Amino acid sequence: MLGKLSGWGDTIVALATPPGIGAIGVIRVSGPEAFTIVGRLFTGKDLSAETSHTLHVGLLVENGEQLDEVVVSLFRAPRSYTGENVIEISCHGSPVVLERVIQAVVRGGARLARAGEFTQRAFLNGKLDLAQAEAVADLIASGSAAGARAALHTIRGGFSRALRELRERLISFSALIELELDFSQEDVEFADRTQLYQLISEATVMTAELLQSFRLGNVIRNGVSVAIVGKPNAGKSTLLNTLLNEERAIVSEIAGTTRDTIEETLNIGGILFRLIDTAGIRQHTTDTIEQIGVGRSLEKMEAADIVLYLFDAREGVDGMRGELMSRGKVFVLVGNKVDVFEGAVDDPEAVMISARSGFGVDSLKKRLVELVLQGETMLGDGAMVTNARHYQALVKVAEALEAVARGLDDLIPGDLLALDIRVALHYLGEITGEITTEERLGYIFSKFCIGK
Amino acid sequence: MLGKLSGWGDTIVALATPPGIGAIGVIRVSGPEAFTIVGRLFTGKDLSAETSHTLHVGLLVENGEQLDEVVVSLFRAPRSYTGENVIEISCHGSPVVLERVIQAVVRGGARLARAGEFTQRAFLNGKLDLAQAEAVADLIASGSAAGARAALHTIRGGFSRALRELRERLISFSALIELELDFSQEDVEFADRTQLYQLISEATVMTAELLQSFRLGNVIRNGVSVAIVGKPNAGKSTLLNTLLNEERAIVSEIAGTTRDTIEETLNIGGILFRLIDTAGIRQHTTDTIEQIGVGRSLEKMEAADIVLYLFDAREGVDGMRGELMSRGKVFVLVGNKVDVFEGAVDDPEAVMISARSGFGVDSLKKRLVELVLQGETMLGDGAMVTNARHYQALVKVAEALEAVARGLDDLIPGDLLALDIRVALHYLGEITGEITTEERLGYIFSKFCIGK
């Protein structure tokens, strides 16, 4: 199916843990020479004599120079992540130590791994299909529990199983139809058209469900953008801080790593929300905004999935409800400062809060989560499309299935039906990697991090 | 020896790898309940039935919720880093996944580890002495091969062995002297004064050598600060870039992690140099510097270990040589732009380079390394003091030994000699942790990273 990749037989090495200083850092070595290369550096034991899935403590020494005291994990082919011989070296977590060990392994005969090459090898060795392999990258990059859950479901084969079942049924039908072609003079039908129609209907429903899951899947993977808008002094900054401070207290216990790249994110009920801070924008452009009005601020937030309109509970929503509805936005009206004013207007369609005291903020969070789920449940075992590449391929599958269904209605000959079925099969195969090109694979895996 | 630490019997958990996204992240669990707690989450196998030093692939599930597919490493007490039951969980390297697993382990009965607590437990369980434990932190933080080498030497017990030998000999002498005190009426000498004198002489030499090694040890651990000074347009920025560009090409292959915290560092021959970029300072304050002259710029660099004075090869050094010598600085004179001008002055005491073409830069690097080593070799197996705490204790040891030697000269009574020997023993014991307080231990280990 695939041409041999360049360097496919090489033994590769990379840092598998994040760069930086930590208690430990893990270096992964995979390939036919993994045991030989690491074994030459490892003192105290002959690693080649040890069984798979065992741990060994020892000193790495290169030309008499001590590199580190390490623990090595042995995984013998095919019982490893890549399906090859794999050794993971757990070193002291100093970048200098890790670099020295990696360079010693390279001098010993390995080469530095390309991004995603370990997972690519796992795919090529049949340990994972392409959809599963891509979910590994998604799991690593997941920014929320829901994202991690969806990716793990795919890694464990949930999505692939659904596609494989569909694909196998289409293949068996396709084979029967192609058999008819060999007997085309005799006008026989091996493939029962009623059964085929039934299958295509089922496949169409399943594909449609998967396509529909992409909206939620995409949201789960990439987060929901929420624009907080409102007049000056409505309390946007206070609300933002109230939302974020609670969140930070939880996140900062471990890492807080995403804060560098994403401005303000909130994890509510396992769903990632990205807050667009119009409060921040306002501070620098107060005059302009005041002149042009909130409409302008809304335009800027056109790209947001959800608009959160904050108003002063004394003043009410004004014309904003109509404005938001006419723009077709998904929105939440939030009346603020209920604690301050006796004469607060209780708007039944709004969430009434006090950003300062935190009153009502939980209800607001609940409303946000409801808007995302809209009756869909994330906790089910259903397969979910989270990957744009899979979505595009499924759109093609749906088109091909529609063509087959039309063809059946029009009683077109078997050879033409077979063509459309083959198109559907092609795009199904592209998702799981049964059908793909080496360049395409290279592109997909190049988006992985090094060491995976 | 030590009072029980609070929470000493707890099972603890922490992320052992650096925070951030990576192919994998490792969570370390240590304590009596490690196997029970992780075993409840781990599906597919009964971990409590498995032997030490084995690896197991499985799914972590908490209350029906799948957390991650992981590999667990089992280390049974006392054959582990801490000496307790230890499980390391190798997860997919997503901060979200890692946080979920850590929280599941905490809900299962573990608590988050304090900084350095794993190593502190290793110390309390006799797996490492205090000097070795501190060297673990040094190894992790090491910024150069030489620093890593010195720390690894200490971890492997080189430094501790030297101290222990000295301590044991002093103890046996001390015991003999104290025995004399029991027979003080009879005027006997169990402890041979000549032998004691010999021992004290040897101990004094050894302590002096260790103290002397601190200058180099400190340099190896913390790096050598180098101020690059010179007139405007001497080529400081070009030289800096030439030095750094070569370096970056090597470092960036793996991590380049130190760049965030340390402005400009250069690793030459395994020694870390920290470059103080006066070129950068100059850009903002050209006028002032021009007025006050290079002398002012030098004052700013007073704290540097080495001053690198760059001059235009056409112009020569001027009065700077005298200026630098009068200030007692260690310096290198560097004549730049030898490629540009026919009439370059060849100064035999200067390194002549072309920062632009790279000519002579290797000689300059060699000169810098020579200045640091000054005849000392870093590759030897000698113990080296790299830790300020150890240095301070050794100064006290030296003082006590000097008092003993003086006492022997003055023929003072045994009980007074014994007192001074006990002072020496006390400070020796402080280094390796035989004598220390719980508060002091807590302070030392609090400087470790979490997870170690």
The stretch B162-187 carries a mean pLDDT of 79
* A196-to-A60, A295, A394, A407 alpha-carbon distances in Å: 63, 54, 20, 11
Min distance A54 CA to chain B CA atoms (Å): 4
Tell me which residue has tokens 């997503």.
B94
Residue B253 has pLDDT above 90, yes or no: no
At B345, the pLDDT band (50, 70, 90 cuts) reads low
DSSP codes joined into one string, A387-422:
-HHHHHHHHHHHHHHHHHHHHHHTT--HHHHHHHHH
Residue B110 has pLDDT above 50, yes or no: yes
The residue of chain B with its CA nearest to that of A58 is B156
More confident residue, A142 or A324: A142
B47 touches chain A (CB under 8 A): no
At B301, the pLDDT band (50, 70, 90 cuts) reads low
Residue A262 has pLDDT above 60, yes or no: no
Lookup: tokens for B431: 């280094």
pLDDT of residue B374: 66
pLDDT of residue B68: 96
pLDDT of residue B401: 94
Range from A92-101, A207-216, B119-128 carrying the lowest mean pLDDT: A207-216
- Report chain A residues whose CB lies below 8 A from the CB of B17: 17-18, 22-26, 93
pLDDT of residue B397: 94
pLDDT in tens, A358-408: 888 888 988 888 887 764 544 345 677 888 889 999 999 999 999 999 998
- Report chain A residues whose CB lies below 8 A from the CB of B148: 68, 94, 96-97, 100
B450 touches chain A (CB under 8 A): yes
Residue B282 has pLDDT above 70, yes or no: no
Dist. CA B306–CA B274, nearest whole Å: 10
Residue B102 has pLDDT above 50, yes or no: yes
The stretch A208-212 carries a mean pLDDT of 86
Residue A221 has pLDDT above 70, yes or no: yes
pLDDT of residue A52: 97
More confident residue, A291 or A224: A224
Range from A229-238, B19-28, B238-247 carrying the lowest mean pLDDT: B238-247
Q: Number of helices (H) and strands (E), helices first, in chain B? A: 16, 13
pLDDT in tens, A71-88: 999 999 999 999 999 999
The stretch B300-324 carries a mean pLDDT of 78
CB of B428 within 8 A of CB of B170? yes
Min distance B40 CA to chain A CA atoms (Å): 20
Q: A153: Cβ–Cβ under 8 A, 6 or more apart, which residues?
A: A159, A381, A383, A384, B66
At A247, the pLDDT band (50, 70, 90 cuts) reads very low
The residue of chain B with its CA nearest to that of A69 is B152
The stretch B283-301 carries a mean pLDDT of 48
B273 touches chain A (CB under 8 A): no
At B54, the pLDDT band (50, 70, 90 cuts) reads very high
More confident residue, A297 or A128: A128
At B233, the pLDDT band (50, 70, 90 cuts) reads confident
CA A251 to chain centre: 20
Question: In whole numbers, what is the pLDDT of chain A averaged over residues?
Answer: 81
Range from A55-64, A108-117, B370-379 carrying the lowest mean pLDDT: B370-379
Q: B331: Cβ–Cβ under 8 A, 6 or more apart, which residues?
A: B306, B307, B308, B309, B324, B325
Torsion angle, CA of A350/A351/A355/A361, rounded to 10 degrees? -160
CA A325 to chain centre: 31
What single letter denotes the amino acid at residue B372? V
A141 touches chain B (CB under 8 A): yes
Range from A126-140, A286-300, B303-317, B363-377 carrying the lowest mean pLDDT: A286-300
pLDDT in tens, A320-352: 777 777 777 788 889 888 877 666 566 778 888
CA torsion sign for B102, B103, B104, B106 is positive
- Report chain B residues whose CB lies below 8 A from the CB of A53: 54-56
The stretch B188-206 carries a mean pLDDT of 82
At B299, the pLDDT band (50, 70, 90 cuts) reads low
Min distance A96 CA to chain B CA atoms (Å): 6
Q: B171: Cβ–Cβ under 8 A, 6 or more apart, which residues?
A: B425
Min distance B50 CA to chain A CA atoms (Å): 11
The stretch A412-424 carries a mean pLDDT of 88
At B214, the pLDDT band (50, 70, 90 cuts) reads confident
CA torsion sign for B423, B428, B432, B434 is negative
pLDDT of residue B261: 30
Tell me which residue has tokens 């045991």.
A35
The stretch B17-28 carries a mean pLDDT of 92
DSSP codes joined into one string, A236-257:
HHHHHHHHHHHHHHHHTTT--G
Dist. CA B153–CA B139, nearest whole Å: 10
B157 touches chain A (CB under 8 A): no
Residues of chain B above pLDDT 70, percent: 84
Inspect the interface and report whether the beta carbons of A21 and B94 lie closer than 8 Å.
no
The stretch B50-77 carries a mean pLDDT of 96
Question: In whole numbers, what is the pLDDT of chain B averaged over residues?
Answer: 81
Q: For chain B, what is the radius of gyration of the CA atoms?
A: 28
The stretch A229-251 carries a mean pLDDT of 69
Residues of chain A above pLDDT 90, percent: 30
Burial, B248: exposed, middle or buried (Cβ in 10 Å; 0-12, 13-18, 19+)?
Answer: middle
Tell me which residue has tokens 């380079």.
B353
Question: Which of B24, B253, B450 lies at the smallest CB-CB distance from A112?
Answer: B253
- Report chain A residues whose CB lies below 8 A from the CB of B141: 21, 94
Inspect the interface and report whether the beta carbons of A19 and B18 lie closer than 8 Å.
yes
**Would you tell me which residues 307-326 of chain B have a C-beta closer than 8 angstroms to some C-beta of chain A?**
none
pLDDT in tens, A278-318: 643 443 444 443 444 455 455 556 777 888 888 888 877 77
B222 touches chain A (CB under 8 A): no
* ipTM at complex level: 0.74
pLDDT of residue B153: 87
Return the SS3 of A87: strand
- Report chain B residues whose CB lies below 8 A from the CB of A96: 142-145, 147-148
Inspect the interface and report whether the beta carbons of A254 and B97 lie closer than 8 Å.
no
Residue B284 has pLDDT above 60, yes or no: no
